[in-house]
Structure 1
């Protein structure tokens, strides 16, 4: 029975020698397409139940073990679940997955093509500066980093920064980048600032001026909110694909500091933002 099930899914028959615990661990960790994986787990559990039921019938009811009945039961189970639950994932669009689906007798659910979206970085209005920033965290909790790039209406870099914030979580790294951008804008007297971030959390706390932040950032965030009242600012969201220079500045491998010009690390990304070619965002 186990060899038959493994053959349906194109797996090695030698796996039938596994103990039940090893088999269950293998079943839940095997890398398959979403549709195949769900039916594979269903097949393992259904076969365990079917064999146990058949054994009891043979032992207590003097029934005869007929392996073909169990195979029919498994396929009927696959078909019933496929009809009852339309959201069973998608197969990889490969011949191997199609053969597995055909063996089970269920409908192939072809993976839809990815949605392609163009992402543009656009310069700010005349005499405005756009502050793109990003944060990164190593593990949770781990060391947090923040970085950002200030660019004018011509797309020229007016400054970039990288700061480290000790141990923390990813959302604290997002908060750190906002605070750093506000402080630097105040230091250099930039009163027309357009904040752009790839984090909905950043957009939310800037839009609402929320004070619900971690206690260790409470004082410095309240100071940043006071500085923000002296700035004419806008807030917008951009996908990560259009926030590459800031993402580079937030990398743990970038040295800490402030530069009143564009560093070599981000030159190519800045030039790409100014070109006519957009970034492409793929959503599967």
Structure 2
């Protein structure tokens, strides 16, 4: 019997009316190695409000993903978003936020600011999406590594 690939048909979906969705991703060339983040904020019509692609120096893949989630939330706050939906392809980040427990003490330095910031929104959601549905954030994070701009200070 054929197995069904759960990733087939995965696509990004716009958030509900009145919400903003932040898709995030982080990448590391070498793990640890030069790292970058990518975030894209879109409204309920699917229109991009803001996107970033930033290099930030040597880090692990997981550190990059946590940093990307944090920076995406910061962008939402800077833009005055009140209802935010954080979505990424990192189960480590999603589960850490849901359980209020990081998978490693090294990642806790990124989880705690995420939790503090989430509490400042009127409402928030967090969800996992397969990489195929998170393509824009993935592209932005990898583009950041290739860029020659100065590292982002978070």
The alignment's TM-score, normalised by the length of structure 2, stands at 0.82
- Return closer, same or farther for 1:198/1:255 CA change in 2, 3 Å cut-off: farther
Going by fraction, where is strand more abundant, 1 or 2? 2
Aligned mates of 2:147, 2:137 — CA distance in 1: 11
Equivalent residue number for residue 253 of structure 1: 146
Paired residues, number: 144
Determine if the alignment matches structure 1 residue 225 to structure 2 residue 115. yes
Candidates 65, 69, 74, aligned match of 1:174:
65
What secondary structure, in the 3-state scheme, does the structure 1 residue paired with 2:146 have? Answer: coil
Equivalent residue number for residue 214 of structure 1: 106
Aligned mates of 2:29, 2:37 — CA distance in 1: 12
Aligned mates of 1:159, 1:170 — CA distance in 2: 23
Which 4+ runs in 1 deviate beyond 4 A?
Answer: 254-257
- For structure 1, the 5+ residue unaligned runs are 1-111, 258-284
Aligned mates of 1:255, 1:118 — CA distance in 2: 35
Equivalent residue number for residue 4 of structure 2: 115
The alignment's TM-score, normalised by the length of structure 1, stands at 0.46
Going by fraction, where is helix more abundant, 1 or 2? 1
Contact 2:41/2:76, CA 8 A, preserved across alignment: no
- Relative contact order higher in (CA < 8 Å, ≥ 6 apart): 2
Answer with 1 or 2: which has the greater Rg: 1
- For structure 2, the 5+ residue unaligned runs are none
Contact 1:161/1:256, CA 8 A, preserved across alignment: no
What is the CA-CA distance between 1:256 and the residue it aligns to? 5.5
What secondary structure, in the 3-state scheme, does the structure 2 residue paired with 1:163 have? Answer: strand
Question: Equivalent residues in 2 for 1:126-145 (5 A)?
Answer: 126-145=17-36
Contact 1:136/1:174, CA 8 A, preserved across alignment: yes
- Return closer, same or farther for 1:255/1:204 CA change in 2, 3 Å cut-off: farther
Aligned mates of 2:149, 2:13 — CA distance in 1: 27
Equivalent residue number for residue 160 of structure 1: 51
Aligned mates of 1:195, 1:164 — CA distance in 2: 21
CA deviation profile, 1:156-189 (whole Å, cap 9, x unmatched) = 0000012223211111111111111121112221
- Return closer, same or farther for 1:151/1:182 CA change in 2, 3 Å cut-off: same
CA RMSD of aligned residues (A): 2.3
